[in-house]
Homo-oligomer: A and B are copies of this chain.
Amino acid sequence: MANKLAAASIRPTRQRVRIGQILWQSEHRHVTAEKVYMDCQEAGERVSLATVYNTLHQFRSAGLLREVPVNGNCVYCTNITPHHHFYNTETGELYDIPQDQMHLSQLPAPPSGMTVSGVDVVVRVKPNGGAA
Q: Contact at A101–B111, with CB atoms within 8 Å? A: no
Q: Chain B residues with Cβ under 8 A from A113's Cβ?
A: 127-129
Contact of A111 with B125 at beta-carbon distance under 8 Å, contacts A69-B69, A105-B103 already known: yes
**CA–CA, A90 and B71, complex, Å:** 18
Is the C-beta of A104 less than 8 angstroms from some C-beta in chain B? yes
Number of interface residues of A (CB under 8 A): 38
Assembly stoichiometry (copies): 2
Which residues in window 79-132 of A have CB below 8 A to B? 86-89, 95, 97, 101-108, 110-111, 113-129
**CA–CA, A76 and B87, complex, Å:** 18
Identify 10 new A-B residue pairs, CB closer than 8 A, beyond the known A97-B108, A101-B108, A121-B121: A71-B74, A86-B110, A88-B114, A104-B105, A104-B121, A114-B125, A114-B127, A119-B121, A119-B123, A120-B121
